[in-house]
Amino acid sequence: MLKQLGLLLMVFNLFLPFGTQVQGKALTEHPARDVYEGWHLGIQAYSFNRFTFFEAVDKAADLGLSWIEVYPGQKFSPDMPDAKFDHNMSAEMREAAKKKLAAAGIKVYGYGVVRLPNDEAECRKVFDFCKEMGIGAIASEPKEDAFDLIEKLCKEYKIAMAIHNHPAPSYYWDPDKVLEVCKGRSKWIGACADTGHWMRSGIVPLDAVKKLKDRIIYFHLKDLNKFGVCHKGEHDVPWGQGKADLDDILKYLHSVGWKGSFSAEYEHNWLESVPELRLCVHYFEMVASSLDPSGWKHLLEDDLSNCTYKRGSWEYKDDLLTRKGGGYIWTKDKYGDFILDLEFKVDKNANSGVFIRTGDLKKYVQDSIEIQIHDTGDGTKHGQCGAIYDCLSPSIDLGSMAGRWNHLTIEAKGPMIYVVMDGVQIIKMNVDDWKEAGKNPDYVGTSNKFKKAIKDMPRTGYIGFQDHGNPVWYRNIKIKPCGK
């Protein structure tokens, strides 16, 4: 892990409800990769309730997600299997959780389902915890006598309370009941709409969505193989393959301008659900991006048809790019201003790189900027992992990157290059400062390998991944082209 990150991880955007992003500022953390502007796709950690909170975060990152909904009672980490993730955690555990989330580029938007009794002291424990963790909504099934207290706290903390619907005969299984208790309440009181539990109660999800509409704060999105009572053969299936008509739900939400979050809550095939959840993510991205694309897209086509490379030298499967040997791989499209987000893994002492704005592919060494990918560094002055190779070192010592997934975000914006690694900005470079060929603009004028000034390099070009003869893996490679 990055060293001494405690004070660096309290970055501003982490604490904005529902993932609000400040626009027009330099990249200082991993951005959310939402394909629909205003819709945040995340995972309910209960999908991984056979695993720890730390492992759930890793699985969310594996799926390429930027969001997670947490629940009380999950085991905390493999190193602390007896400790539980909940609002009673110690200060040390909370800081460890924040560090884990930031390094993975995952933000928390929801907490539940959690008990909210008609007891101010007990409720404040939950609200204080959510405020500290940057959580914007609490899912609960409170008794009716607690609503005045809860609404008061929602307004005070600016945190919503979403009424969850377990299947019949639970108290809130019927959307009409949810509407009844919400009547006359502020916008801070609404629904956590569980489409799968509606199906288990014999309710058509689209009908319930149309009833609740503006009262829906966020979703537990599920698609089941059939309607029916719990434990009668119904179970989760990849989205779009069941009977929930999720296509129509998403299209309806788009038509009424609904904004909010979706928790993928998958309660089937508990130990091996990631491949099925990946299908859910792909389905959501396909439908949502067709309705209102935000600009985020996968950099690579599934068959690598939008790339230039030697056949067999790279493999791309399940959003994972694997070096097989035989040369670099380049995009066929050129990119100027953009945000590139990915994860990478290397072996011990392994070397690779991400090339951006590459002009002439025959002269890529002299006609592009390389962000170094390495276990640690190649021994040169500016050869550490995360460095702008031969030009600028990262602002902190990253330590060894080998054997684990590391989260990398690169923003190219006019003359500015920003690099964020595992939750911390490590590079802020103005290429216009590199005015002389072969020389870096530091106080001693160290040399670099370039035969022309960095400021004169192309501002638009191909993106490439380096084959340096070592094993390397890249996954969840997404890009958002940006205007200047």
Q: pLDDT tens digits for 236-249? A: 999 999 999 999 99
Tell which wins on pLDDT, 83 or 443.
83
pLDDT at 103 over 70: yes
Task: Give me the number of domains the chain comprises.
Answer: 2
Is 390 part of any domain?
yes
Per the CB < 8 A criterion, the answer to whether 65 and 42 are in contact is yes
Which domain does 67 fall in, by range? 12-294
Q: Could you tell me the pLDDT band of residue 444, with boundaries at 50, 70 and 90?
A: confident
Q: How confident is the model at residue 445 (pLDDT cuts 50, 70, 90)?
A: confident
In the predicted structure, residue 356 carries a pLDDT above the cut 50: yes
User: Considering the chain, what percentage of its residues have pLDDT values greater than 70?
Assistant: 94
**Residue 322 and residue 255 share a domain:** no
Q: Name the domain boundary from 230, 265, 294.
A: 294
Q: Is the peptide bond before 169 cis (omega within 30 degrees of 0)?
A: yes
Q: Where is the domain boundary, 250, 265, 294?
A: 294
User: How many residues would you count in the chain?
Assistant: 484
CATH code (residue 363): 2.60.120.560
219 lies in some domain: yes
Q: Is 478:339 a contact under the CB 8 Å cutoff?
A: no
Helix (H) or strand (E) holding 333: none
Residue 23 has pLDDT above 60, yes or no: no
- Choosing from 294, 317, 332, the residue where a domain stops is 294
412 HSE (CA, 13 A, CB side): 27
Q: Are residues 361 and 277 in the same domain?
A: no
Per-residue pLDDT, averaged over 391-410, amounts to: 95
Do 276 and 352 have their domain in common?
no
Mean pLDDT of 275-284: 98
N-term to C-term CA, the chain: 34
* Domain of residue 22, CATH code: 3.20.20.150
- If asked whether residues 195 and 55 sit together in one domain, one would say yes
Q: Which two tokens stand for residue 160?
A: 């919503």
Residue 342 domain-assigned (yes or no): yes
Asked if pLDDT for residue 4 goes beyond 70, the answer is no
Bridge partners, 75 (sequence order): 84
Does the reported pTM lie above 0.85?
Answer: yes
Query: Could you give the CA distance from residue 83 to residue 297 in angstroms, rounded to a whole number?
Result: 38
Per-residue pLDDT at 10: 31
Residue 350 shares a structural domain with residue 226: no
Same-domain check for residues 377 and 436:
yes
Do 374 and 423 fall within a single domain?
A: yes
Can you tell me the distance from the alpha carbon of 264 to that of 237, in angstroms, rounded to the nearest whole number?
A: 11
139 and 113 Cβ atoms separated by less than 8 Å: yes
For residues 272 and 330, state if they share a domain.
no
Are residues 328 and 470 both part of a single domain?
Answer: yes
Has residue 2 been placed in a domain?
no
Does residue 198 share a domain with residue 91? yes
Q: How far is CA 76 from CA 43, 73, 82, 161, in A?
A: 17, 8, 8, 24
- Whether 378 is covered by a domain: the verdict is yes
Q: Does any domain span residue 393? A: yes
Whether 158 and 288 map to the same domain: the answer is yes
* pLDDT tens digits for range 326-349: 999 999 999 999 999 999 999 999
Q: How confident is the model at residue 261 (pLDDT cuts 50, 70, 90)?
A: very high
pLDDT for the residue numbered 7: 33
What's the mean pLDDT in 172-189?
Answer: 98
- 59 and 185 co-located in one domain: yes
Residue 325 domain flag: yes
φ/ψ (deg, to 5) at 198 = -60, -45
Q: Is residue 1 part of a domain?
A: no
